[in-house]
Structure 1
């Protein structure tokens, strides 16, 4: 399978915890669909102290995985929102 585009899209979105509304990431997202995964190389700013865990409420919002041979976070449904 093809690897994701290195540079990625120019549009950034802010990703928040759905429970406490704390900002988790600033991410370069492509397309207009739901947020299913975050490629680590596309994260512009990371506000978490422990990977995949909200710094405020401690909720686990994602799992560490490999997608198409590239490190990524797979989001747990309903745990994050973005705008």
Structure 2
């Protein structure tokens, strides 16, 4: 499978914790679908310590994985929101 485009899309979204609305990431998202995964190379601003726990409420919102040979995090359904 092909790797994701490193430059990526221009549109950025802010990702928030669904529980406490704390800011987690600023991410370059492609397409208009749901937010399922997040490639680490496309994160422009990271507000978390370990990419899996919310810094405010300590809730686990994602799992680290490798997708198409690239490090990524897969979000747990209903744990994050984006604008």
**Structure 2 regions of 5+ residues with no counterpart?**
none
Displacement over 4 Å in runs of 4+: none
Q: Does 1:61 align with 2:61?
A: yes
**Distance in 1 (alpha carbons) for counterparts of 2:27 and 2:52:** 14
2:80 equivalent to 1:48: no
Displacement after TM superposition at 1:49 (Å): 1.7
**TM-score if structure 2 supplies the norm length?**
0.98
CA RMSD of aligned residues (A): 0.5
Does 1:19 pair with 2:22?
Answer: no
Deviation at 1:50, TM superposition (A): 2.6
Gaps of 5+ in 1: none
In structure 1, the partner of 2:37 is 37
Aligned length: 83
